[in-house]
Chain A
Amino acid sequence: MTSVRVPPVLRVHVDGQKEVAASGGTVGEILNDLVARHPGLGEQLLKADGSLHRFVNVYLNGQDVRYLAVLDTPVTDSDALIILPAMAGGA
């Protein structure tokens, strides 16, 4: 199982937990497993075509997976995933 950090805006869908566990060998498998365990996350994380929601960023060990292999990025149990909403940076 890989640990996945859930942002405050999505915690209502995971019984208020800050971190949840999910299994899978890729980012996409893990997100789909998360949705299977917590169906409320479904339309929040992924679009109907299965791609990442525009306002969702997923980081593998701190690196945005859109610059890796996106949903096909390999993940091991020792990796950490962080989900964050897209927000404006300070400026």
Chain B
Amino acid sequence: MRSAVRDEPVSVLDRILAILDTVRESHGSTTITQLASATGIPKSTVSRLVGDLVRQRYLMRAQDGVTIGLRLFELGARASTPRRLTAAALPVLAELYNATGEHLNVAVQEGRDMLSVISVRGRLRPVPSRAGVRVPSATTALGKAVLAFTIDEGVLGSVITGLDSSRRRTFEKELVAVRTESVAIDRCETFPGVVGVASPVLSPERLPVAAISVAGPVADMDPKRIAPLVRHAALALTHRLALQVA
């Protein structure tokens, strides 16, 4: 997409979205200079577009650049998928928290990442993830739970591309096991000292819509004990989502 911005005449909307996307990739705050170099849009044009985005409250001026504005917070709070998942998941998460006391996440697939839409703090410090934060699909339990059931070859391919042939075979074997068990495990592959256990939430067509995970310190986190609890939570969430649609 970056090269498209440089090489071809693009619409104003594409430029506006490229600017917002760059602010997102910079974790919510950046400068005009960085925006210009990341998007390939001339700096004067970036300045002008940012001015418009600030006036319309999509962005806010900060000390040395721009940050996300309140309009995006307001619109984001009305986004459909997080709202539906949150409504369905809250009682399920409460039960899972009572049973484990650990860090919980419900996340959806977003490109090669998993995007957390709801998070409950457990005892892990620092907190490895929270709502609105992405974690890599390739290593997290959340990611593997969804990848095992995806039929999107492109997504699977993009995750596997980075692996050498022996690691690729291991990874594919792992996904087969996830399909059988409906549970994926991350043994300190993403965050040092943190074990994650996740189970997929499937649509009636058995396509992955989300995953739910429990994460805790490796010293006293027994994946065997947690697995049935997470599996049960994922089934409960699947069921509650089906009721929501009906």
Same complex: no
Residues of A within 8 A of B (CB): none
Residues of B within 8 A of A (CB): none
